[in-house]
Structure 1
Amino acid sequence: MFPRKSLLLKRMCVLVGVLACVWWFGLVGPPPSDDVYLSVLLLNDTELLRTFDELNAELNLTYSAENRTLDEVRGYVARMRRNRPVNPHRFAYLINPSRACDGAPVFLLVYVHSAPGHYRRRAVIRQTWGSVADFAVRVVFLLGRPDWKSMQDALHMEADLYGDIIQEDFVDSYRNLTHKAVMALKWVSLHCTRARFVLKTDDDVFVNMFLLVRHLRRLEATDGRPVRRLLQCMVWRRMKVMRDPKSKWYISREEYRPDYFPTYCSGLAFLLSTDVVMSMYNASLSLPFFWVDDFYVTGLLAARVGVKHRSLAGAYNVRANYFRQEFTDAQKQRTLMFGHVHDLNDFVEVWQQVVEYETRADHPTT
């Protein structure tokens, strides 16, 4: 016999209630304590909105009160008061081109991990793939603080000349790369939210900007609307943790106990939609610091915000010794977007060949 309708209705109500609790706790965490809620309820409407803005600024969040009810804003304020960040990113800007994304809409923002002394690499990128202006692309370089004042003075001159340097007041070192990664997420969230796509790469990476832009346009055409929840890259699964103390990638068991990393992206280059960047930055404030930057961003933060990895493996050349050979191959020119480069002369010569190929090709380049 079938259950009675009243019993079915009760079971459905219980199920809906359980699912609602799971959804709520998954999105916002456990509710704030009664005393936190009481202190927020005592705020009048004006005080509530002012407190919301102050906490947003203090915690470097990107929440918006627009189109929110006052009860929803109260919930945000209560959670912000309870959830003081465990990983606050409070480094001051030394150089900040905050208006770099102003003006015409930005199709693609590229942020490049660089180092203070890598002027020649930045110059070559500006000459080659970073010079393509027809696609509404912006390229910025991320730096920490150098050890010498003379180098800092030179960086200020470079920034004044090109307007594409972003620098914060932490020591630029290998173990501080995660600070640089979070700096990028923060800067995009605060100063370039209108960009439709974001690419992270390094200053020893060649980008075939023509192929990349066509790929992103296909993504938009396929979806038929602005692309959201995008994390696309060369996906690494079950990468073994380096336990050799002589390696610069050495990680002790005290730092990270498992022998294999969960799924994450190659740090050579990965693509994000801007909504994912903003979610990751907000999530980074409550996720403890871990110095392996590509794993922290595309592994830990990606898992925290619930974004899935989409593979783009065929677009990569990770073997620098084969860079010229592969990027000048007639067939691979149609698929390779990212290449690891050692010799800057190869960088320039391969770019010239890519431009010549695009000029002859039977597809539009802009």
Structure 2
Amino acid sequence: MFINFRRIRKCQCVQLLTTGLLLCMVMVCWEQLDHHVVSHVRSYTYRYLINSYDFINTSLAINPDPHHGPVVEGDGATVSHPYLINHKDKCGTSGSGRPWDDVLLVLFVKSSPESFERRQAVRDTWGNETYVWREARESVRVVYALGVHPDTERRAATQRALVQEDWTYGDLIQQDFADTFHNLTAKLILQFHWTHKHCRHARFFMTADDDIFVHMPNLVRYLRGLLNSEAGARNLWVGHVHRGAPPNRRKDSKYHVPYELYPWPSYPDYTAGAGYVVSGDVAAKIYQATLRLNSSMYIDDVFMGICANAMGVYPEEHAYISGEGKAPYHQCIYNRMITSHGHAKDIRTLWRAATAPAVRGLSSGFINGAYCTAVRVMLLCRPYYQNTYSCLAAFR
């Protein structure tokens, strides 16, 4: 059949060309469209209509090793990694001749072997244990979780530098696995296993990236409030919650998860790995889950969600614990802030501003409170603005 273009009106030609162009664009962009729309619709449907994760205890169960917890290599093999640097007495041990220290919080900072400057910035600011004790009279233990340098040619020199650094500060916890993205779950397991063995008496456990800012005075006040509440600090897991998130199926993505690894359309709810807090009893439950579940899921915060779901623990949203974003710079944010992410270079500057004496009394009184609420609304409730905290945080 031939088309007589003489009989086709000009507007019909335009419509025909436009339709063809749109079809071409849809074909080219279908994979991205499917990832951002179809996958999320399917995931939310699974999460909120079906809401069944029984497969976690059945499909992901393993035979536990009675001597060592499982950790994951880059190829997904479950093995055990020996400690290269360890501090068994960091929290006080009964075998050391000293009584158990009353530790409010053990805080693991996830760091890479060559990230000395970031670790030093944390030590000089919010991760300073002496500062917390002097200002709040609370015992906090800050340690750094590490693997070995992934480049074998640079590994020996980097390891010598780490040994020297640890000799000076005594706060590195390192196991013998390559420190890579695909071994983040190994680093997560390191933290919970070390805590269970050497600091299980701590009231709370926290994990954080080395480019995160933690407002330690606000965090300590928050944890104290939990301990003094009627419910107490049990069954607690707080952070920036991802609900009904779908696996990323795009092969060009860093976070690509193949169907062979995780065939289901939705992850269990989990908190962003940038920083979250659990109570001591939950830390013990996660430790037990790591002994029972396959740790081949290399996205560590998702694996945390899988472990927690298997143990009947579910995350709670905290308005001022960040996800992947950076909080606005303002005193009215600082007086509520718990964490903010993405501070690789400005931790010292932010620490001085956020802990200044003027910030502490900023929310006292009706006028100051109303002023800060208005400021937070302007900073956090702007349309189409990607921020760390939700608009609801402005009113809390």
* TM-score above 0.5, yes or no: yes
Aligned to 1:158: 165
TM-superposed deviation, 1:362? 7.8
TM-superposed deviation, 1:342? 4.2
Aligned to 1:79: none
Hey, what's the Cα distance between the residues in 2 that align with 1:286 and 1:318? Answer: 29
Q: Displaced runs of 4+ in structure 1, greater than 6 A?
A: none
Once the two structures are overlaid, the 10-residue window that deviates more, 174-183 or 303-312, is 303-312
Within the candidate set 260, 270, 277, 2:283 is matched to 277
Matched, 1:128 2:125: yes
Hey, what's the Cα distance between the residues in 1 that align with 2:248 and 2:338? Answer: 28
TM-superposed deviation, 1:157? 0.8
The 8 Å contact of residues 87 and 288 in structure 1, kept in 2 or not, is answered as no
Alignment of 1:345-360 (within 5 A): 346-357=346-357
SS of residue paired to 2:239: strand
The 8 Å contact of residues 289 and 308 in structure 2, kept in 1 or not, is answered as no
Gaps (5+ residues) in structure 1?
A: 1-27, 30-54, 62-85
Within the candidate set 263, 287, 290, 1:257 is matched to 263
The 8 Å contact of residues 185 and 299 in structure 2, kept in 1 or not, is answered as yes
Matched, 1:99 2:99: no
TM-superposed deviation, 1:236? 0.7
The 8 Å contact of residues 89 and 285 in structure 1, kept in 2 or not, is answered as no
Aligned to 2:187: 180
Gaps (5+ residues) in structure 2?
A: 1-56, 59-63, 71-75, 93-99, 364-396
Aligned to 1:6: none
Residues 1:332 and 1:92: Cα distance change in structure 2 (over 3 Å): same
Residues 1:224 and 1:260: Cα distance change in structure 2 (over 3 Å): closer
Matched, 1:141 2:144: yes
The 8 Å contact of residues 94 and 168 in structure 1, kept in 2 or not, is answered as yes
TM-score, with structure 2 as normaliser: 0.66
TM-superposed deviation, 1:59? 4.5
Name the aligned partner's letter for residue 87 of structure 2. P
Hey, what's the Cα distance between the residues in 1 that align with 2:287 and 2:86? Answer: 18
TM-superposed deviation, 1:283? 1.7
Aligned to 2:7: none
SS of residue paired to 1:261: coil
Hey, what's the Cα distance between the residues in 2 that align with 1:311 and 1:293? Answer: 19
The 8 Å contact of residues 178 and 296 in structure 1, kept in 2 or not, is answered as yes
TM-score, with structure 1 as normaliser: 0.71
Residues 1:317 and 1:251: Cα distance change in structure 2 (over 3 Å): closer
**Percent same amino acid at aligned positions?**
31
The 8 Å contact of residues 275 and 323 in structure 2, kept in 1 or not, is answered as no
Note the alpha carbon deviations across 1:68-118, whole angstroms, 9 max, x for none.
xxxxxxxxxxxxxxxxxx986621100001111016311111001111011
Hey, what's the Cα distance between the residues in 1 that align with 2:110 and 2:85? Answer: 15
Within the candidate set 106, 111, 124, 2:108 is matched to 111
SS of residue paired to 1:242: coil
SS of residue paired to 1:244: coil
Aligned to 2:49: none
SS of residue paired to 2:217: helix
Hey, what's the Cα distance between the residues in 1 that align with 2:66 and 2:161? Answer: 31
Residues 1:56 and 1:175: Cα distance change in structure 2 (over 3 Å): closer
Note the alpha carbon deviations across 1:295-330, whole angstroms, 9 max, x for none.
101x1100111112121134326324xx4xx1x313
Tell me how large the CA RMSD over aligned residues is: 2.6
Matched, 1:207 2:211: no
Name the aligned partner's letter for residue 167 of structure 1. Q
Residues 1:113 and 1:260: Cα distance change in structure 2 (over 3 Å): same
